[in-house]
Amino acid sequence: MKNKTMKGSEFLVKELNADEVFIYEDFNEEQMMMYRATKDFIHREISTNIDKIEKQEGNIVEDILRSAGVLGLLGVSIPENLNGLGMSFNTSMLIADIIGTAGSFGTTYGAHTGIGTLPILYYGTKKQKEKYIPKLATGELIGCYCLTEPSAGSDANSGKSKAKLSKDRKHYLLNGQKIWISNGGFADIHIVFAKIGKDKNHSAFIVDAKSEGITMGPEEVKLGIKGSSTRQIFYENVQVPKENLLGKRNGGFGIALNILNIGRIKLCASAIGGAKQLIEQTDRYISERKQFGLPINQFGAIQQKMLRMQAKTFASETLMYRAGQDIENRAEEVGIIDATSEYAIECAIAKVHGSETLDYVSDEALQCHGGMGYSSEYAIERAYRDSRIARIYEGTNEINRLMLIGQLFKKIQKKQIDIKGLVKQSYLAAAIGLRRLSPIASVKFGSTSGTPLVQNHKTLLGRLIYETHKEVGNKLLDPKNQQLLMSLADILIEIYATESCLLRAERTNNAQHVKWSEYYQYESNQKVQRLAYEIADELDSGLLLRMAIKNLTKMSHYKPYNN
Q: Which SS3 state, helix, strand or coil, does residue 428 take? A: helix
Among residues 145, 286, 263, 299, the alpha carbon closest in space to that of 209 is found at 145
Residue 199 to residue 206: CA distance in whole angstroms: 19
| Cβ proximity of 135 and 170 under 8 Å | no
Q: Which SS3 state, helix, strand or coil, does residue 190 take? A: strand
Among residues 85, 86, 79, the alpha carbon closest in space to that of 124 is found at 79
Among residues 354, 350, 502, 507, the alpha carbon closest in space to that of 26 is found at 507
DSSP state of 447: S
Residue 373 to residue 359: CA distance in whole angstroms: 15
| Cβ proximity of 236 and 197 under 8 Å | no
DSSP state of 362: H
Catalytic: which of 45, 149, 394, 518? 394
Among residues 8, 20, 5, 7, the alpha carbon closest in space to that of 449 is found at 20
- DSSP structure string for 124-154: --HHHHHHHHHHHHHTSS-EEEE--BTTBSS
What is each CA distance from 147 to 182, 198, 396, 519, in whole angstroms? 11, 18, 15, 41
> Which contiguous run of DSSP H or E holds residue 199?
none
Which amino acid is present at 369? H
Q: Cα–Cα–Cα angle for 4, 311, 509, nearest 5°?
A: 55
Strands 143-146 and 189-196: parallel
The contacts of residue 440 (CB under 8 Å, 6+ apart) are 452, 453, 555, 557, 558, 559
Among residues 504, 506, 558, the alpha carbon closest in space to that of 528 is found at 558
| Cβ proximity of 322 and 22 under 8 Å | yes
Residue 60 to residue 58: CA distance in whole angstroms: 6
> Which contiguous run of DSSP H or E holds residue 289?
none
Q: How far is CA 16 from the centre of its chain?
A: 23
Which amino acid is present at 355? S
Q: Is 26 exposed, middle or buried (0-12, 13-18, 19+ CB in 10 A)?
A: middle
Residue 426 to residue 467: CA distance in whole angstroms: 11
The contacts of residue 474 (CB under 8 Å, 6+ apart) are none
| Cβ proximity of 173 and 166 under 8 Å | yes
Q: Is 342 a catalytic residue?
A: no
> Which contiguous run of DSSP H or E holds residue 512?
helix 511-539
Which amino acid is present at 152? A
> Which residues are known to be catalytic?
394
